[in-house]
Amino acid sequence: MFEEFEEENKIEIAQKRYRVLAFLIDFFVFWLIGMVLGMFFGTPNEDELGFSLNGMPALVLFLCGFFLWPISEGVFGQTLGKRLMKIKVVSNSNAQINMGQALVRFFFGFIDYIFLIGLIIASTDKNNRRIGDMVANTLVCKKNN
């Protein structure tokens, strides 16, 4: 009887490739929002492709990024990319993460993505955790159902 309970609550860790694909999807959505805002409200860059945003359009882009990552993870346990890849963020005890954990993961994400440090760290961790996961006490796992 207890074996069934343990088997039912067992966490299946998400593979790194699903985590990377989820991030790429999220980043693409953020980039697309930025490009649309740039086309309508931005100043074209003369030397490079892209746009410069100032004032309210820049604030809107910032808020979109904040909603796409820490707020959606704190409220739903998933970003859009994670939802499409059928993975979610949970605490180490397999409970829903709180907003504090989501914010810690988000801010440590900047460190994780510098020179792909997060991917290197995740490759050496048995639970595929990046630095942000370790500090926030979270795991990324396959979503049940």
Q: Crossing angle of helices 99-112/117-124, nearest 10°?
A: 110
Tally of structural domains, the chain: 1
Q: Cα(73)–Cα(94) distance, rounded to whole angstroms?
A: 14
Tens of pLDDT, residue by residue over 4-34, are: 434 456 789 999 999 999 999 999 999 999 9
Residue for token pair 């961790």: 125
Tens of pLDDT, residue by residue over 37-70, are: 999 999 888 877 788 899 999 999 999 999 999 9
Q: Cα(35)–Cα(37) distance, rounded to whole angstroms?
A: 5
Q: Supply the pTM of this predicted model.
A: 0.86
DSSP single-letter state for residue 13: B
**Residue 81: its H or E element:** helix 80-85
